[in-house]
Structure 1
Amino acid sequence: MDNDISNFDLNLLKAFDALLDEQSVTAAAKRLNLTQPAVSGMLSRLRDHFDDQLFIRNQRGITPTKRAKELSLPIKQLLNDAKLMMQPVVFEPNQSTAQFRIAASDYAIKTVILPLIQLLRAQAPHIRIAVLDVEPDQIYAQLETGALDFALVTPEQTHESLYSQHLFEEHYICAVHQQHEFAQRHQLTLADFCTQPYVLVSQQGDAFQGIVDQLLATHGLQREVVLSLHSFLVLPELLASTDLFAIMPSRLIPQDAELKVLDIPLAIPTFHKCLVWHAHTHHHAPHQWLRQLIGSIYHDLAK
């Protein structure tokens, strides 16, 4: 008897199961779509492996031995488990309790996570989402180890080995309280642009210069930044209650905000937001479903 499974042909288990059910070599061969000599050969190999006759010939076919009867349930369970394992995974969102970890900035929380949660509450109310800070230098390692399932980043923050799905392109606008004296204008001149007090959002919250200031410098100009924040989320409320101006992504302006949007007299580059994930989750049904759901938010908006 050989106990090394690496030397065992698992197809022999299918032959065993057919012989057990049919109790006839001929009938088992027909069920397996094999010749009778082929099944007889498989039975011989089974006998060698289990060191037992397994099936004894009788007038009507074959009868299982005591050892064969002992093996019948484990082998049937093994074959059934293998069959289930080979079936496509059916993901039921409305019943799933899956948990996903997504790295997102405050901007991505507002523009992606918020509409995502609204969809999940309607389609998959038991799925849980954990939102973590974006650490650009750690994204690949976190996705590779499973510490993250997804990251919402710009293309510059991703890694060439990661899968990526483009979500949208964003542009900047200038916002100010709707009662400000400049709110009646559609566009500012560069001179007017530079004379106003600004709030600036930077990654650390302690910078008083950004890309806008770099562009102004090419014209020999500068503006006055009086407040630096690390988050965009408070900007609408701040602008609505002060005389400050802000250059901010257009999607952060609430529809009901008491703000006026002005055109910027500078060509500020747009940026792109994408969803990234690692290869080891690429074919996982729950991950596929969530990726499609996130993508649908912006596909529908683009129509």
Structure 2
Amino acid sequence: MSDINNIDLNLLKSLQALLLECHVGRAAKRMHVTQSAMSHTLARLRDALQDPLFVRTSKGLSPTPRAVQLGQQLEPLMTELVRLFDPPRLDPSSILCRYRILSHDFIVQAYLAPQLNRIQRLAPNIVFELDTLGSEANDKLDQDQADLIIGAGLDARDRFMQQRLTQEPIDCVLAADHPALKQWHLESLLAYPHITMGLLAERDDPVSVASGGEARRRVGVITHNLQTQLPLLVDSSLIAFLPRSLAAIAERQYGLCSRPSPVTLAPLIIRALWHQRHQHDHSHRWIRQQLFEGFSEAADRG
């Protein structure tokens, strides 16, 4: 009896071709090799299986009883081998997990909410946990306390995978009856107090930088997230600088007005980060692809 450790399993496909064709030349063509190579393969098969496998007749090669028996066993075996190397088919309804996302509130509202609802219909056994994107986000991703980060101004570590999702212009948002709207230019913009995400030094203020240092802003309110700024703008003289998707939400939900900034500001780049440990995990990949589609669809609508 032959030891399977001494048999090249690649020979099985050649044997299958020989059984189908009963002709060395045609089997070689099917396998995309030369006739000489197929003859050498047949010799190896005969040696490994200790049987002539084929005998010559006036009509070509005729399989021996051993070859016929092998052919009957080989067909289901080859089918299973093909299935073994096929990429697994994922049934979304079978995914059972908790998926933890760190992101900004406006990204959840503008991009993620519709996709999360869609995923819930396809994969009802996924529990999503959403948390605010903070300074500890990279540590959480590193320590497997988060599955995905989606945000702006991200600093990816070497072991993180990343994908750019979209970019957003920065618009000015203010009350619909704000007096600055009567003459919309830099001077009128600077005549009123602004809302910022932090009390920035003048040299770091993006508005000041974009204006060549000419802009001198007066900060009226400081918030720790962008979403908080929207109700503060209603019936107020305040002016906020917000991503365009959030500016659109401000118009729809709060009756506010948005205008392009009088100074050209760098767009907001939104990216996704995930740890390389999850790069080839089929469930993780399916979920993030579903989430990323929301950004593509928003860009198409935009």
TM-score tier, shorter chain, comes to: 0.5 to 0.7
Q: Find 1:200's aligned residue among 190, 196, 200.
A: 196
Q: Deviations over 1:255-295 (max 9, x none)?
A: 42222335655554332223456777489784795377245
CA-CA distance at 1:171 after TM superposition: 1.2
> Would you say the 8 A contact 2:170–2:260 is kept in 1?
no
Q: How does 1:287-298 map to 2 (within 5 A)?
A: 290=290, 293-298=293-298
Which residue of 2 is the match for residue 231 of structure 1? Answer: 225
Question: 1:131 and 1:82, CA in 2 relative to 1: closer, same or farther beyond 3 A?
Answer: farther
Conserved? CA contact 1:144–1:278, under 8 Å: no
Q: Distance in 1 between matches of 2:246 and 2:13?
A: 61
Q: Aligned AA for 1:104?
A: S
Q: Whole-Å Cα distance in 2 between the matches of residues 270 and 219 of structure 1?
A: 20
Per-residue displacement from partner, 1:48-101 (whole Å, max 9, x unpaired)?
Answer: xxxx769799xx853349xx78x976x6555223313455777787x6748766
Check 1:15–1:224 CA distance in 2 against 1; reply closer, same or farther (3 A cut).
closer
Q: Give unpaired runs (5+ residues) of structure 1.
A: 202-206
Distance 1:131 1:242 in 2: 31
Q: Is the 8 A contact 2:150 2:271 kept in 1?
A: yes
**1:113, CA displacement in angstroms?**
1.1
Q: CA 1:165/1:264 → structure 2, altered by over 3 Å: closer, same or farther?
A: closer
Q: Contact conserved, 1:55 with 1:64, CA < 8 A, in 2?
A: yes
Task: Give the C-alpha shift of residue 31 in structure 1.
Answer: 7.8
- Quick one: distance in 2 between partners of 1:274 and 1:10? 45
Residue identity (%): 15
Task: Report the AA paired with residue 193 of structure 1.
Answer: L
Q: What is the letter of the counterpart of residue 80 of structure 1?
A: T
Q: Cα 1:209–1:146, aligned 2, differ >3 Å: closer, same or farther?
A: closer
TM-score, normalization by structure 1 = 0.61
Q: Provide the rounded CA distance (Å) in 2 between the counterparts of 1:167 and 1:240.
A: 29
Counting only pairs closer than 5 Å after superposition, residues 78-97 of structure 1 correspond to structure 2 as 78-87=77-86, 97=95
Alignment match, 2:200: 209
Shift in alpha-carbon separation, 1:251–1:294, aligned structure 2, 3 A: closer
Question: 2:59 maps to which residue?
Answer: none
State how far apart, in whole Å, the 2-side matches of 1:56 and 1:184 are.
Answer: 91
Say if 2:11 and 2:41, in contact at 8 Å, map to a contact too. Answer: no
Q: Distance in 2 between matches of 1:193 and 1:234?
A: 22
Aligned amino acid, residue 27 of structure 1:
C
Report the TM-score, using the length of structure 2 for normalisation. Answer: 0.61
Aligned residues: 274
User: SS at 1:157's partner residue?
Assistant: coil
| Structure 2 segments unaligned to the other structure (5+ residues) | 30-34, 56-61
8 Å CA contact 2:53–2:66 kept in 1: the answer is yes
Change (3 A) 1:289 1:195: closer
Cα gap change, 1:56/1:189 in structure 2, threshold over 3 Å: closer, same or farther? closer
Q: Which residue of structure 2 lines up, in the alignment, with residue 204 of structure 1?
A: none
SS at match of 2:122: coil
CA contact (8 A) 2:243 2:268 kept: no
Matches of 2:130 and 2:52, distance apart in 1: 58
Please give the alpha-carbon distance, in whole angstroms, between the structure 1 residues aligned to 2:25 and 2:281: 37
Of 115, 125, 128, 2:122 maps to 125
Q: Would the aligned equivalents of 1:188 and 1:263 in 2 still touch at CA under 8 Å?
A: no
Could you tell me which residue of structure 1 aligns to residue 115 of structure 2?
116
What is the letter of the counterpart of residue 271 of structure 1? Answer: L
